[in-house]
Amino acid sequence: MKKLIKSFWKKLSTPSKAAAGVLLGLGFVGGIIFWGAFNTGMDATNSEAFCSGCHAPIVAEIRETIHYSNRSGVRAICSDCHVPHGWTDKIIRKVQASKELVAYALGTISTTEKFQARRGYLANREWQRMKKTDSQECRNCHDFDFMDFSEQGRRSVVQHSTALASGEKTCVDCHKGVAHRLPDMSGVEGWQ
């Protein structure tokens, strides 16, 4: 291994006989290929098929909700709500998700029964995450500044114009279970 690193370093520190243009071209093209492959890999782990690998029961549940089928044909997939869209936050979330590989290896939610037993914990963790980020993933599509209160129900107008507008509450405080069935809600604040 040491020998390999030494030989690699020797090659890196020895001037090439190739023209500067060739070297720059190799670096440029190589950079594009690497970055393209990296982002393709990231996108692959953001796909619904990838999420279904472990979370199949919960991925199927979205089909019954407005986030899957609606009059305008706009739909959300798992990563739209569960993975930050900004590059830095996305990387942090992906690194954090490496912990989930251990759960996969241990078969923590490998059966429907195991998954159902754990869904309350998983949902709670996700609600907490969204609360901390002020429901950033909701806000990627739903912008408070462009809400037309005349199109909303009376209760929504009251809550949005007061608690949401003041920042006292965030989307996920009320909008739980908008894409999945709710777990046992006993002990969850505001749901007694």
Partner 1 sequence: MSTVENIFWHILGYAAMPVIFLVGFVAVAAGSLWILSLGADRKS
Check residue 128 for interaction with partner 1 (CB under 8 A). Answer: yes
Query: In this chain, which stretch among 51-59, 113-121, 124-132, 174-182 interacts with partner 1, using CB under 8 A?
Result: 124-132
Q: What is the helix (H) or strand (E) element at residue 145, kind and residue range? A: none
CB-nearer residue toward partner 1: 2 or 11: 11
Nearest Cα neighbor of 149 from 164, 130, 139, 134 is 164
Check residue 149 for interaction with partner 1 (CB under 8 A). Answer: no
Q: Using CB under 8 A, pick the residue from 1, 3, 13, 17 that binds partner 1.
A: 17
Check residue 158 for interaction with partner 1 (CB under 8 A). Answer: no
Cβ atoms within 10 A of the Cβ of 19, count? 9
Give the count of residues interacting with partner 1 (CB under 8 A).
28
Give the nearest distance from C-beta 4 to partner 1 in angstroms: 10
Contact 43, 36 (CB under 8 A): no
Both tokens of residue 55?
Answer: 């979370």
Check residue 121 for interaction with partner 1 (CB under 8 A). Answer: no
CB-nearer residue toward partner 1: 31 or 107: 31
Both tokens of residue 183?
Answer: 């777990």
Give the nearest distance from C-beta 132 to partner 1 in angstroms: 8
Give the nearest distance from C-beta 60 to partner 1 in angstroms: 26
| φ, ψ for residue 186, nearest 5 deg | -65, 135
Q: Using CB under 8 A, pick the residue from 6, 16, 47, 69 that binds partner 1.
A: 16
| φ, ψ for residue 134, nearest 5 deg | 55, 40
Contact 114, 169 (CB under 8 A): no
Q: How far apart are CA 63 and CA 180, in angstroms?
A: 9
Q: How far apart are CA 130 and CA 139, in angstroms?
A: 11
Contact track, partner 1, 66-105, x by CB under 8 A: ----------------------x--xxxxxx---------
Helix axes 48-61, 87-106, angle to 10 degrees: 70
Q: Which residues bind partner 1 (CB under 8 A)?
A: 8, 11-12, 16-19, 22-23, 26-27, 30-31, 33-35, 38, 88, 91-96, 125, 128-129, 132
